[in-house]
Chains A and B, each alone.
Chain A
Amino acid sequence: MIEAKNLSKYFGRNKVVDSVAFTVKKGEILGFLGPNAAGKSTTMRMLTGYLPASSGHALIGGFDVAERGLDARRLLGYLPENAPVYQDMTVTGFLDFVARIRGFSGAEKAKALERTVERCFLQDVRQQAVGTLSKGFKQRVCFAQAILHDPPYLVLDEPTDGLDPNQKYEVRTMIREMGGEKAIILSTHILEEVDAVCTRAIVINKGKVVADDTPAGLRAKSSLNGAVTVAAEASADQLAKSLKGISGVSRVEVLDADGGKARVRAYPMPDADGFMDRVVRELSAQSFPVLGVNRETGRLDEVFRKITQSR
């Protein structure tokens, strides 16, 4: 388990992280969300023991990172922000260094290196100096360093930052594959990432945890969640009027109308069951042709904005 017990951090008088508490169990992939300067990296640095916490404790596999730092760090793989790597080393040289520190030697070391190079798709750049690699490769080299010893705990600070869509996809696939047997925390400000890989998400704002839920649970906080969007060959007024008549509608919004077509969205009241069904029945009773009916799921960016701006 990775445990944060009321972690706080002051920089001078500035409280950057304020009593952050959570646990991540094996099998969980926790997404750590928040606007820039919300305290994500600082929290991760305290979890890995790089920054001492002003108060509170961080535990990796039961070891307090401040008191049993070495034991904790042996169980941990860490990808720091901006993926720092020794620029003048080759990829193999760098990974070899990390493998030695991780206590590998001989055939075991060669095997671990081979496995990691393959897993991170680094075969083609083995002998290249890290400094000459593109951002995407550097990120993967640093990622490789974190998983080289197959650690049970992973802390990844913005693992897909600066990658192109294909590379993002590869990295996410790797993370998901490892998620089964490891406890993983990854920070990001890309919301789609949470949907793509995380089993749980924590939103942090101004140093405080403001939401801790599954991605679906977070999305349900969106006002859009459960709304139904209808497109039909009818005037906007006509369509809106018919939707307004449905029981359980809280409000109706005209999205666009042009020529003989209109798109209108109907929002349900909270806990209005069977809303979609009633919309479909109402529409089938109408004479105008329906072009499409779509049930909206909540949008994470909307929820994100709502919970990080209102305070």
Chain B
Amino acid sequence: MDKRFFQNLAAIGRRELASYFGSPIAYVFIVIFLVLCGFFTFNVSNFYEAGQADLRAFFEWHPWLFLFLVSAVAMRLWADERKTGTIELLLTLPVTMTEAILGKYLAAWIFIGIALLLTFPMVLTVVYLGSPDLGAIFVSYLGSFLLGGSYLAIGSMTSAATKNQVIAFILSVVIGLFLVLAGWPPVTNVLAGWAPAFILDVVSGFSVMTHYSSVQRGVLDLRDLLYYFSLIFFMLFSTGVILHARRAN
């Protein structure tokens, strides 16, 4: 962890971010994300009719929106590098695999963070309408950011596995969907009928939903943090293993 590590991380991250904003991808993503957020919050969840000055109607859609949108951002992380051959350029520069994977990943995560920050009018709306618990909203944002980071790490792994961005996208959505559904009441209810409680706990413990909803209650539990960070670490580590292995052919 010397100075070079952070310099390389910053250089790779800068390049990645610059390429998002240098192409239409960034703007398309942000616009679609904001429009869908608004649509689901106001038109589907009936934010106004609920008559509560909180953002539950807003945050409850994020696991579903991110499932597709974050996968779309992540799909090009490595698949594109591999397809255009720039991966050979990047990995023969004096950077370590860790720097390359982390640099690209963090840039994409920062980008998701920027998109999230741009939803600030939602916060202004509830502040205007009532007196919301701003601490809880902050924690919810943090939870949403961690959720985005988890999907992104999954996408990084699937993107490393293939040259084809469409395949990377689909794999990433499927894995994400599994992690969402594992804790979804319709699924847990099926299990609850016959399976012992500990199996139910293990299955739903895998789910991002279990951890996401606990954070949405405004409580940041160490277990939830541990879950997100171990998921991210595992997926990024797998990215490294896959890149190492696939380089050989």
Tell me the A residues contacting B by CB distance below 8 Å.
11, 45, 48-52, 70, 73-74, 76, 78, 80-82, 84-89, 93, 97-98, 100-103, 129, 142, 145
Q: Given A86-B86, A89-B15, A103-B7, A73–B22 Cβ distance below 8 Å?
A: no
| Contact of B92 with A97 in the complex, beta carbons under 8 Å | no
Chain A residues within an 8 Å CB radius of B89: 78, 80, 84-85, 142, 145
Q: Contacts A50-B92, A88-B23, A103-B4 given; 8 further ones with Cβ under 8 A?
A: A76-B92, A78-B89, A84-B84, A86-B19, A86-B86, A89-B18, A93-B18, A101-B11
A-B interface pairs (CB < 8 A), number:
69
Residues in B1-47 with C-beta less than 8 Å from chain A: 4, 7-8, 10-12, 14-15, 18-19, 22-23
Q: How far is the CA of A48 from the CA of B87 in the complex (A)?
A: 13
Total B residues in contact with A, Cβ cutoff 8 Å: 26
Chain B residues within an 8 Å CB radius of A88: 19, 22-23
A-B contact pairs, 11 of them (CB 8 A): A11-B249, A49-B92, A50-B247, A80-B88, A82-B85, A86-B15, A89-B15, A97-B14, A101-B11, A101-B94, A102-B94
From the candidates B11, B15, B96, B247, name the one contacting A52 in the complex (CB within 8 A). B247
Check if B199 is an interface residue, CB within 8 A of chain A: no
Chain B residues within an 8 Å CB radius of A97: 11, 14-15
Chain A residues within an 8 Å CB radius of B23: 88
Determine which residue in B4, B89, B95, B248 has the highest number of CB atoms from chain A within 10 A of its CB, and name it.
B89
Chain A residues within an 8 Å CB radius of B11: 97, 100-101
Residues in B177-214 with C-beta less than 8 Å from chain A: none
| Contact of A80 with B85 in the complex, beta carbons under 8 Å | yes
| Contact of A73 with B19 in the complex, beta carbons under 8 Å | no
Q: With CB as the reference atom, state the residue of chain A lying closest to B23.
A: A88
From the candidates A78, A85, A89, name the one contacting B22 in the complex (CB within 8 A). A89
Q: How far is the CA of A86 from the CA of B92 in the complex (A)?
A: 15
Q: How far is the CA of A278 from the CA of B232 in the complex (A)?
A: 82
From the candidates A51, A73, A100, A142, name the one contacting B248 in the complex (CB within 8 A). A51
Q: How far is the CA of A82 from the CA of B19 in the complex (A)?
A: 21
Check if B219 is an interface residue, CB within 8 A of chain A: no
Chain A residues within an 8 Å CB radius of B247: 50-52
Q: What is the CB-to-nearest-CB distance from A196 to chain B, in angstroms, rounded to a whole number?
A: 26
Chain A residues within an 8 Å CB radius of B50: none
Q: With CB as the reference atom, state the residue of chain B lying closest to A98.
A: B93
Chain B residues within an 8 Å CB radius of A85: 86, 89
From the candidates B19, B85, B95, name the one contacting A101 in the complex (CB within 8 A). B95
Chain B residues within an 8 Å CB radius of A76: 92
Q: What is the CB-to-nearest-CB distance from A282 to chain B, in angstroms, rounded to a whole number?
A: 59
Check if B225 is an interface residue, CB within 8 A of chain A: no
Determine which residue in A73, A85, A86, A93 has the highest number of CB atoms from chain B within 10 A of its CB, and name it.
A86
| Contact of A84 with B92 in the complex, beta carbons under 8 Å | no
| Contact of B88 with A100 in the complex, beta carbons under 8 Å | no
Q: What is the CB-to-nearest-CB distance from B111 to chain A, in angstroms, rounded to a whole number?
A: 15
Q: What is the CB-to-nearest-CB distance from A17 to chain B, in angstroms, rounded to a whole number?
A: 13
Q: How far is the CA of A82 from the CA of B18 in the complex (A)?
A: 24
| Contact of B86 with A84 in the complex, beta carbons under 8 Å | yes
Check if B127 is an interface residue, CB within 8 A of chain A: no
Q: What is the CB-to-nearest-CB distance from A296 to chain B, in angstroms, rounded to a whole number?
A: 42
From the candidates A50, A87, A145, name the one contacting B91 in the complex (CB within 8 A). A50
Q: With CB as the reference atom, state the residue of chain B lying closest to A145.
A: B89
| Contact of B19 with A84 in the complex, beta carbons under 8 Å | no
Q: With CB as the reference atom, state the residue of chain A lying closest to B89.
A: A84
| Contact of A48 with B18 in the complex, beta carbons under 8 Å | no
| Contact of B88 with A84 in the complex, beta carbons under 8 Å | yes
Q: With CB as the reference atom, state the residue of chain B lying closest to A80.
A: B88
| Contact of B92 with A70 in the complex, beta carbons under 8 Å | no
| Contact of B92 with A52 in the complex, beta carbons under 8 Å | no
